[in-house]
Amino acid sequence: MKRTGVAGLLAAAAILIPIAPATADPVGDMFGSASGSLDSGSAALGSSGDKVTHYGKLGRKDAPNGVRSINVWVYNPKNARELSPGTFPRNSRLGVRWNSIIEAGPIVDGDECRMEVRLSGPKVPKEAALFKTRDCTAVKSYFFKGAGDFTIRVTDTISGASNSIAFSVR
């Protein structure tokens, strides 16, 4: 049986690390790292020696969980057809997917966070307006029956890092 060295394992692992495009996105800069694709992964490239891009409000450098920023995307698990960029049909399951990033770039994938996920928009039920979890990287979805403009903000209350996405339902 052939053994694979550390270099081989690292090369194999590098294939599995999702990387977002390195180009600037004015909409993303305004609303966070928003993307229609759920597989775009993190914009943090720390392990390759490239400059790390952090989105949203940065967390404290001395935060005990190390979270420096949060990447967010519109979560569309049923692949609802976008009517136009960032606009989805009524009766769709949508939400937010996020990952937390440390200063150097790697994703925090554990339960060291204290995340608050806030949904705002027209006629949001009180029980849906705030969701709390310890997951640093996760998803939260909602079912949208009615039309309107919505924002979902993800905040790590330990580090202070936060980011949000905005989208419409028509």
Q: What is the pLDDT of residues 60-90, one digit of tens each?
A: 999 999 999 999 999 999 999 999 999 999 9
Spatial distance between the Cα atoms of 170 and 162, rounded to a whole number of angstroms: 27
Closest CA to 51 of 22, 72, 21, 91: 22
Judge contact between 96 and 131, C-beta under 8 A: no
**Domain membership flag for residue 14:** no
**Domain membership flag for residue 55:** yes
Q: Which two tokens stand for residue 86?
A: 């960032």
Q: How far is CA 39 from the centre of its chain?
A: 11
Residue identified by tokens 């890092």 is 161
Query: What CATH number is given to the structural domain containing 110?
Result: 2.60.40.1930
Residue identified by tokens 């937010």 is 96
Q: Is 16 helix (H, G, I), strand (E, B) or coil?
A: helix
Beta strand 92-102 with 115-120 is unpaired
Task: Please count the structural domains in the chain.
Answer: 1
Q: Is pTM beyond 0.75 here?
A: no
**Domain membership flag for residue 37:** yes
**Domain membership flag for residue 67:** yes
Q: What is the pLDDT of residues 26-53, one digit of tens each?
A: 333 333 443 333 333 334 433 445 788 9
Amino acid 24 reads: A
**Domain membership flag for residue 11:** no
Q: Which two tokens stand for residue 50?
A: 């490239």
